[in-house]
A and B are shown apart, each in its own frame.
Chain A
Amino acid sequence: MAMTTAEIEALIRAAFPDAEVEVTDLAGDGEHYAARVTSGRFRGLSRVRQHQQVYQALGGRMGNELHALQLTTAAPD
């Protein structure tokens, strides 16, 4: 069961209302995505913690419905 770009974006935005979110379907197959999330909430957090927060926003879908999500996180400059 694949997810759409819009669904992924909506889940991340719901958890990070301040964030800039850009989700790209890498292969056009609904399986391989890349997401870039820029949020002030990431400030001062390690990369592992930043990614864990995004995975939490995806509510257990990562590694299940969502097989491949190349994730880049950053705090705004």
Chain B
Amino acid sequence: MTDDSQTRIADAVRSADVLLFMKGTPLFPQCGFSSRAVAILDHLGVEYATVDVLQDQGIRQGIKTFSDWPTIPQLYVKGEFVGGSDIMMEMYEAGELAGLFASKGVACAA
């Protein structure tokens, strides 16, 4: 069960350049922190995929082990764990998030 969720998480992380594990969907986030993460990505105009952890208990618990990170949302860029919503906000405000996307070859519209 645990191993299966770890494999599924690894597959998901590989499947998209920018992947956000969140509660709810971009249109209907179910948590203020997830909502903030979505707003940052939208503002940068980057293309991203999301996984709604509320739809999958295995992933909801497994992602915490996968990244050694206890909370959701979690952002992955090109397979690398970037951080949760506080780190996203800090990096966004410092202009570092746009820089990270640029350095990883991810296009930003904004």
Residues of A within 8 A of B (CB): 47-48, 51-52, 55, 60, 62-64, 68, 70-72
Contacts and interface: CB of A to CB of B under 8 A. Distances in A.
Interface of B: 32-33, 64, 68-71, 81-84, 86-87, 90-91
Contacts of B32: 68
A9 to B, nearest CB: 18
B19 to A, nearest CB: 16
A52 B86 contact: no
10 A-B pairs with the lowest CB-CB distances in the bound complex, closest first = A63-B70, A62-B70, A47-B87, A63-B71, A71-B86, A48-B83, A55-B70, A70-B86, A47-B83, A52-B68
